[in-house]
Structure 1
Amino acid sequence: MLYYVLKAISFVACLLPRGVCELLGLALGNLAWLVIPGKRKQLAVNQIKKCLGADEAEAVRIAKASTVRFGPMLFEVLRFPVIKKDPEQYVHIEGLEKMQAALADGRGGVIAAAHSGNWELLGGAFAMAGVPLVGVAMKQKDSAADRFINEYRTMIGMHITYKTGVREMFAMLKKGWFIGLIMDQDTTIKDGVILDFFGQPTNCTPGAASMARFQDVPIFPSFMHRDEHGRHTLVIQDAIYVEKTADKREDIRRTTQIINKAIEAHVRKYPEEWFWLHDRWKSLREEYGTERE
């Protein structure tokens, strides 16, 4: 039933003017801020204060803005059928020629992104611009929601695989595809590598560096920013290549640190657009009783 409800809401959203959907999204986002548990809000505020050195008032403002933006983001996903008809009205891409050069060499690559801006539209923007993209997704708990979001991802050109589909990712890389990875979420201590992020030890996922080193392909840090008029700018940074030495672990560690510094720089520039509600230091807290100093 949920699948058909989402389809119906999407149908209506596609009929409504863009400005009306923006207002509805902002209203939904503000409502979400009101119902989010206070403990989760405080987590976001504390992370902002620690990472950015902001005072209480500024941290609350950033946390709220970071949450409210999910409303307009949701409506943009619901309007994918409209966006795909004229994507340049919604997204401007800077640095696309860097990826095109990699494609011309007959190689794919890895896109290292973050939960900043509309990351769903980020993947779609690449696909609609002609970049063969494999979006690596986490399976939704609700099968209807999972069916809906993956249908809309493929609608705008992405090929979707789940995080468990590692063999498929490597097979697609060999065929010249790009693998899109979100690099800023906490992972298990066993699977992660502890690096510097916002001046504090942070458990980071090494997937992009590990994959790129094994396949000898470039990594492109790529981030989305939304302006006050609702138009996105997708910036593709210079390629990062994993140096291959006898110390594989250090090669991966060093490259993952470079990626994390790129993410940190983007978040510092656009703090309202990052997902501060995510408990970024949870695994370290659970492993050591507190974030490591």
Structure 2
Amino acid sequence: MSQIAPVPSPEIPNPAKRQVPSEHLRRIVGTPPGRVVDLLTRIVWAFLTWLSPESRDALARFVGNLAYTLGIRRRVALENLAMAMPEKSEAERREIARGAYINMARVVVESLPSGDRLPKDWAEQGVEGVEAWEALRAHVATGKGALMVTAHFGNWELLGDMLIRWGIPLDALVRPLKGALNTRIAVNRVGCGAGLIYPKGAIQEITAAVNRGESPYMLLDQALPAKAAVFVPFFGKLASTTPAMAVAAKRTGVPVFVVMGVRNGRGGARLRLEVEGPILPPEPGECEDPITEHTARVTAALERCIRKYPDQWMWLHRRWKYQPDPTVAGKAVAALEAKG
């Protein structure tokens, strides 16, 4: 059974003194906002920074409830929940969906303000999966990075900040971003000490980062077209998933850990770290497709956490949009291994 143990509160460092990633990993690639949009969004960010944490949470709850009531992607969320959790009543699924909307609004409201975004007692919430957490820290202490996997769950943005404060240098795998919101999030990532790894040449970058002692941090719960994915079970149905994590694990030989920031405390304003791992690849000869099997094992760990706290996951995403195409089977893995 998992243990929950407190983590000694470290001295929170000055952001200017935190880890500085390699220069080429501090690039922000994407389409920046126009001048008018940039000005308006800066005003919004300043307002959010000025608000107290309690007021920000009240605002997030209002926005989340409003989006749910207006039906923005509500049908998608409820269809996903009906497929993934048929054992729950319709009323229970609707409540989970509403919670997912509120969580998404909280992520935005909590992630945008500049400066110190984590509350002073953030370290007092503890860790679930103490042995896995200690194994992760022990591996990082050897001077090589680990591979860390998470999901659009809790607040994955503040989770990265939290891990860096606890001494895990990390580089986030990201896509080129568009718009003022995504640009601000990217700026905050770099500001808290994370590097940014983009898809082109990602495996090569991951390998170099691991050898520098940095831990690549990737989201593994987004649907990809069949030609770019492997298909693994997720809530009882095959879901298209990037093989990048498993290919990187094979290339680097380092362990994989699932790290999740579970909302805790009044109003969900605190994060508790939940860790599982190391999640090892199959032994040689154990299965025909070790990359897909390793991806499935890590995805299963994500599912276990989401099942415990379903209202903290992003059910609004069409996770099962794509289904296997036998004509492109194996091409995603071959392409990644060839390109690096």
TM range (shorter): 0.7 to 0.9
Structure 1 partner of 2:140: 103
Q: Is the 8 A contact 1:114 1:223 kept in 2?
A: yes
Q: Which residue matches 1:25?
A: 60
Q: Please give the alpha-carbon distance, in whole angstroms, between the structure 2 residues aligned to 1:201 and 1:15.
A: 44
* Aligned-pair identity (%): 27
Match of 2:280 in 1: 241
Give the structure 1 partner of residue 306 of structure 2. 267
Note the C-alpha offset of 1:179.
0.5
TM superposition shift of 1:217:
0.4
Which stretch of the first structure deviates more once superposed, 5-14 or 247-256? 247-256
**Conservation of the 8 A alpha-carbon contact between 2:220 and 2:242:** yes
Code of the residue aligned with 1:25 in structure 2: it is A
2:173 and 2:217 in contact (8 A); partners too: yes
Give the Å deviation of 1:199: 1.6
Tell me the secondary structure at the aligned position of residue 151 of structure 1.
Answer: helix
For residues 124 and 228 of structure 2, the distance between their equivalents in structure 1, rounded to whole angstroms, comes to 36
For residues 177 and 116 of structure 1, what CA distance do their matches in structure 2 show? 23
**What is the distance in 1 between the residues matched to 2:71 and 2:304?**
28
User: Using a 3 Å threshold, how does the CA distance of structure 1 residues 284 and 156 change in structure 2: closer, same or farther?
Assistant: same
Conserved? CA contact 1:195–1:201, under 8 Å:
yes
Cα separation, partners in 2 of 1:195 and 1:84, compared to 1, 3 Å: closer
Q: Matches of 1:163 and 1:118 in 2, distance apart? A: 23
Q: Distance in 1 between matches of 2:205 and 2:221?
A: 22
1:203-234 per-residue CA deviation (whole Å, 9 max, x = no partner) reads: 22222111011100010011111124121111
The aligned counterpart of 1:161 is: 197
Q: Distance in 2 between matches of 1:243 and 1:165?
A: 25
The residue that corresponds to 2:242 in the other structure is 205
User: Could you say if the C-alpha distance between residues 249 and 131 of structure 1 is closer, same or farther in structure 2, counting changes exceeding 3 Å?
Assistant: farther
TM-score, scaled to structure 1 = 0.88
Map of 1:70-89 to 2, 5 A cutoff?
A: 70-83=104-117, 86=120, 88=122
Contact persistence 1:14–1:82 (CA under 8 A): no
Hey, what's the Cα distance between the residues in 1 that align with 2:245 and 2:125?
25
Unaligned runs of 5+ in 2: 1-34, 327-340
- Unaligned stretches of 5+ residues in structure 1: 289-293
8 A Cα contact 1:6 1:148, kept in partner? no
Q: Report how far residue 82 of structure 1 moved.
A: 2.6
Provide the rounded CA distance (Å) in 2 between the counterparts of 1:200 and 1:66: 21
Aligned length: 284
Distance in structure 2 (CA, Å) of the matches to 1:34 and 1:93:
35
2:261 corresponding residue in structure 1 = 224
